Chain A
Amino acid sequence: MIEGILIGLTTALTFQNILMVMVGCFFGTIIGMLPGLGPMTAIALMIPITYGFDPATGLILMAGVYYGAVFGGSTSSILLNAPGVPGTVATSFDGYPMAQQGRAGKALAIAAWSSFAGGTLSAIYLLFMAPSLSKVSLSFRSPDYFALMILGLTAIAAFSSKGQFLKAMMMVVLGLMLASVGQDSLSDITRFTFDNMNLTDGISFVLVVMATFAMSEALTIILKRNDPTSAAKQVSLTELGSIKINKEERTKMYKTIPRSSVIGFLIGVLPGAGATIASFLAYGMERNVVSDEEKEKFGKGSVNGLSAPETANNAACSGSFVPMLTLGIPGSGTTAVMLGALLGFGVQPGPRLYMTNPEIFWSIIMSMYIGMVILLILNLPLIPYIARILAVPKNYLIPLILFFSVTGIYVMSFNNFDIYLMIGIAVVATFLRLYDFPMPPLILAFVLGGLMEENLRRSLLLSNGSWEFLWDRTLTACILATTILIVVWHIYKTFKRKN
Chain B
Amino acid sequence: MNINTTKIISLLFFIFSAFYLYTAYQIQVFTFDENAPFNARTFPIYLGYAGLFFSGLKLILPDPTTIKVDHKNLEYKKTGILILIAIIYGATILKVGYFLTTSLFLFASYYFLGERRWILMFLLSFPFVAAFMYLLHGILDIYLRDPFLQSIGVMG
Contact = CB atoms under 8 A, between A and B. Distances in A.
Nearest to B50: A173
Interface in A98-122: none
Interface residues of B toward A: which range? 35 or more
A173 B140 contact: no
B23 A192 contact: yes
Nearest to B116: A395
A406 B67 contact: no
Question: B-side binding surface: helix, strand, loop or mixed?
Answer: helix
Contacts, number: 186
A205 to B, nearest CB: 18
A415 B28 CA distance: 28
A186 B41 CA distance: 12
Interface stretch (A85-93, A265-273, A434-442): A434-442
Contacts of B115: 393, 395-396
B110 A396 contact: yes
A481 interface: no
Interface in B21-62: 23-24, 27-30, 33, 36-44, 47, 50-51, 54-55, 57-58, 61-62
B64 A494 contact: yes
A246 interface: no
Given A169-B54, A403-B105, A187 B89 contact: no
Given A393-B115, A419-B90, A222 B78 contact: yes
A164 B110 contact: no
B98 A52 contact: no
Contact of A464 (B37, B50, B54): B37
A174 interface: yes
Interface in A41-56: 48-49, 51-53
Contact of B79 (A187, A223, A415, A435): A223
Contact of B83 (A191, A427, A491): A427
B79 to A, nearest CB: 5
Contacts of B91: 416
A423 B47 contact: no
A498 B51 contact: no
A383 B144 CA distance: 35
A187 B58 CA distance: 35
Interface centre among B5, B33, B42 (most CB of A within 10 A): B42
A456 interface: yes
A456 B46 CA distance: 11
Contacts of B61: 166, 491, 494-495, 498
A482 interface: no
Given A52-B142, A406-B86, A170 B40 contact: no
25 contacts: A52-B141, A164-B65, A166-B57, A166-B61, A173-B17, A173-B51, A177-B20, A177-B44, A180-B43, A184-B40, A223-B74, A225-B74, A396-B110, A399-B106, A403-B102, A403-B106, A406-B89, A406-B102, A407-B102, A410-B93, A411-B142, A419-B89, A419-B93, A434-B69, A435-B9
Interface of A: 48-49, 51-53, 163-164, 166-167, 169-170, 173-174, 176-177, 180, 184, 186-187, 189, 191-192, 219, 222-225, 393-396, 398-400, 402-403, 406-407, 410-411, 414-416, 419-420, 423, 427, 430, 432, 434-437, 452-453, 456-457, 460-461, 463-465, 491, 494-495, 497-498
Given A222-B75, A225-B74, A420-B90, 10 more contacts: A52-B139, A164-B65, A169-B54, A187-B29, A222-B78, A395-B115, A396-B120, A402-B86, A460-B42, A461-B36
